[in-house]
A = this chain, B = another copy of it.
Amino acid sequence: MEEKILLAHGSGGKLSHDLIREVFLPAFDNPMLRPLDDSAQVVIEGKRLALSTDSYVVKPLFYKGGDIGRLAVFGTVNDLAMCGASPLFLSASFVIEEGFPIATLKKVVHSMKVASEEAGVMIVTGDTKVVEKGSADQIFINTAGVGFIEEGVHLSSSNVKPGDRVIVSGFMGDHGISVITEREGLGFRQKVASDCAPLNRLVKKMLEFNPSIHCLRDPTRGGLATSINEIAQQSKVGICIEEASIPIRESVRGVCEMLGFDPLYVANEGKLVAFVESKIAERILGVLKADEMGVDSAIIGEVVSEPRGKVILKTSIGGSRILDMLTGDLLPRIC
């Protein structure tokens, strides 16, 4: 392991995983942390709850389709939803750089208020710290959240089985491309909007239709490729993906080609990937497509027994290759 923290340790990709496995897991190890799902599942007084936390350091603070406030609310709402929990209450904690305009803070806070109403959650507790000018970059927001998990719902990245179908709920890469074009001031005629959105109602519909869904994940940092690699490793299965079936906007594809990015590694903030038994896959796809948040959903592949822990991409031109986790730091501070 490198002796110093690199930007890539925060990428969500390979170095992030190394850090978790070599620093955090050995210290904090416990049965709730070990699954490394998007939320931890705990039991308090006989009730199953999900807990999740994320700090948001996105740069710039505002971009087409979103801002750090919406991201901070939806990001944690989605992490709870991915464990099948109904998100209920959030905390919000701010680290603010001295000199930050109060008008901008109000704008961010208003955005969090609107986002929490959209998601149907309440921000019930908070904290504010201020550091000297130059000791932080404008504002960092942490949200943590708690949600309730209904009986019969057992989602986990270790549940996935050969034969399962892989479904994505829409276009991949919108969020990352929105942020990076805003950050770099790239003057495209039509800017891509972030897909930042709360997924909890969509997940609720899916689970009401069939609570036996095996696994949900929101492919944020590190993108689709990294998320499904995590699942392949944790469920000890192979995952076979058809490149041609992955929904990617032409505009996103264009920016990616120009900047040398692979859209499969670009962050999403309002999309999920679902692993479901093949016999219910088409009907789950129907449930997704019937919701405005899932109209562009697609079945993109299936789970196989070999090669264990690997993702195979069947390319559009008929070949196939290993699709690895993100290495390096494609897009720092994307969320």
Contacts and interface: CB of A to CB of B under 8 A. Distances in A.
A96 interface: yes
Contacts of A127: 53-55
Interface of A: 1-11, 16, 19-20, 23-24, 27-28, 30, 32-33, 39-40, 42, 44-45, 47, 49, 51-57, 88-89, 91-103, 105-106, 109-110, 112-113, 116, 122-132, 134-137, 140, 142, 144, 146, 148, 332-333
A103 B30 contact: no
A8 B11 CA distance: 33
A262 to B, nearest CB: 21
A105 B102 CA distance: 33
Contacts of A129: 10, 55-57, 140, 333
A44 B121 CA distance: 13
Contact of A89 (B42, B109, B123, B135): B42
A95 B136 CA distance: 10
Contact of A142 (B28, B53, B110): B53
B33 A102 contact: no
Contacts of A96: 5, 9-10
Contacts of A49: 44, 146
Nearest to A56: B129
A325 to B, nearest CB: 16
Most chain B Cβ neighbours within 10 Å, of A27, A49, A52: A27
23 contacts: A4-B100, A4-B101, A5-B97, A5-B130, A10-B131, A16-B128, A33-B124, A33-B125, A40-B125, A45-B47, A53-B126, A54-B127, A55-B95, A55-B127, A55-B140, A93-B142, A95-B140, A130-B332, A132-B332, A132-B333, A136-B137, A140-B140, A142-B142
